[in-house]
Amino acid sequence: MFGLPDITIMVFGAVTIIAIAALVYWGITFKGHD
């Protein structure tokens, strides 16, 4: 796909999705304090 080997798409895609999912989780669960 896109002229790239499958492994490149899978590795970068997985890391990016995990990073975004972790930051979404942070946003949802963040309570903060001030």
Partner 1 sequence: MADLLTIGVIGLYFVAMLGIGIWASKKIKNTEDYLLAGRSLGFWMFVLLMIGTVCSGMSLLGVSGLGYKMGWPTMWEQIFVPLSIAFCIIFFGVKLHNVARTAGYMTVQDYLAHRYESPTALRSLAAVAGIIVSMIYLVGQYTAIAIVLIWLFQIPLWLALFLAMVVTMIYTTIAGLYAVAWTTLIQSIILIGGVLIMAPIIIIYAGGFTHVNEFIASVNPALVMPWMPSGAFAIPYIFSFAILLMVGLACAPHVINNVLAIKDVKYFKWAPLVAFIIYFVAMFLLKFTGFAGLTMVKEGVFTLPGVPNAGDFVILYGIQYALPVVALWAVFAVIVLAAVMSTTDRLMLTIGAMFSWDIYKKVLKPDADDKSVLRLSQVVVVLSAIGSMLLAISPPEMLASLIWMGIGVMLATFAVPLLAGLYWRGATREGALAAMSLGLVSSLVVGSLNYFKTVAMGIEFAKIPLHFSFYAFVIAILAMIIVSLLTKKTAEKVLDETQTGWYFSK
Q: Which residues bind partner 1 (CB under 8 A)?
A: 2-5, 7-8, 11-12, 15-16, 19-20, 23-24, 26-27, 30-34
- CB neighbour list of residue 2: distance below 8 Å, 6 or more residues apart: 9
Q: Two tokens at 14?
A: 């997985």
Q: How far is the CB of 10 from partner 1 (least distance, A)?
A: 9
Question: How far out from the chain centre does Cα 30 lie?
Answer: 18
